[in-house]
Amino acid sequence: MSEDVRRAGLPQASTISLGGSEVHQVTSVGALLLSAKNLTKRFGGLAAVNDVSLELLRNQIHAVIGPNGAGKSTLTNLLSGDLPPTSGSVMLGQRDVTGWSPEKISAQGLGRSYQKTNIFLPFSVWENVRLAAQSRQPHAARWLSHATSFIAVNARAEKALELSGLQKRKNSGAGTLSHGEQRQLEIAMTLATEPQVLLLDEPLAGMGAQEAERMVTLLQSIKKDHGILLVEHDMDAVFALADQLTVMVNGQVIASGKPAEIRADAGVQAAYLGEEH
């Protein structure tokens, strides 16, 4: 990205006041929503993530690909606050959130799903989404009456259900959903926190062709107004969806660019795509 584009795309942070507390919002379209600079995570002698930098813009899907053990999930954990980096920094909008807790980062507008399905199976679809929406109720809104807050949580949950295409399954038990629908439910739960940035770790894992196709359509539709960092092994989906790609091997970025550039990169072919495609 050129410096001009970067400057033009910088988010306009605005501040609104809610009940005496300030809430920062990042607004402009095409804005730089998330950036990682020189992130490194060491587990003893292993550098699982080694000097990784990347950026994510609004209305963009940035895919992170690479072989098993490349460090993709560890990278998402660094970005979400689930793991503290050994060194490097993470900016969410214009805020340095390095070392923040996952809860604080989530409240700042970052939502994530995990590589392993993470839903409450005995609860209904609606209950799962509503719980996720409730977890996002900002501290600044605590002055709201119980009724107002109840309405706001329900509205967030309804909107997330609608966006994720699960309306018809609202009252089904989460345990009765197909695998594909359960992954869809995780997306709905992430959306219920009203994130600007979504980190999705292998949302297509274990899906059949039809389910994968539905998920691709869903991700395409939620790209609008969000930035999505997508970790995925399904290369058909990745190349159908990604605007930008980062390729990791052994913790390091070996290539970064547009899909056509990545496809044509001999180093990427040798290290990863050659064996997959």
Ligand X SMILES: Nc1ncnc2c1ncn2[C@@H]1O[C@H](COP(=O)(O)OP(=O)(O)OP(=O)(O)O)[C@@H](O)[C@H]1O
Using CB under 6 A as the criterion, which residues of the chain lie in contact with ligand X when the complex forms?
43, 46, 48, 66, 68-74, 115
| Residue 56, binding choice from ligand X, Mg ion, none, Cβ under 5 to 8 Å by partner class | none
Shortest distance in whole angstroms from residue 119 CB to Mg ion: 18
Q: How far out from the chain centre does Cα 60 lie?
A: 11
The CB-of-115 to ligand X minimum distance in angstroms stands at: 6
Q: From Mg ion, ligand X, none, which one binds at residue 135 (CB under 5 to 8 Å depending on kind)?
A: none
Out of ligand X, Mg ion, none, what residue 43 binds, judged by CB under 5 to 8 A for its kind, is ligand X
What is the 8-class DSSP label of residue 89?
A: E
CB nearer ligand X, residue 194 or residue 236: 236
231 contact partners, CB below 8 Å, separation of at least 6: 63, 64, 65, 72, 73, 75, 76, 115, 199, 200, 201, 202
Using CA atoms, how far residue 13 sits from 95, 145, 219, 263, in Å, is: 10, 28, 26, 36
CB-wise, 46 or 141, nearer to ligand X?
A: 46
Of 222, 243, 235, 238, the residue nearest 60 (C-alpha): 243
Partner that binds at residue 89, options ligand X, Mg ion, none, CB closer than 5 to 8 Å by kind:
none
CB of 131 to Mg ion, least distance (A): 25
CB atoms closer than 10 angstroms to residue 216: 20
Pick 46 or 152: Cβ nearer ligand X = 46
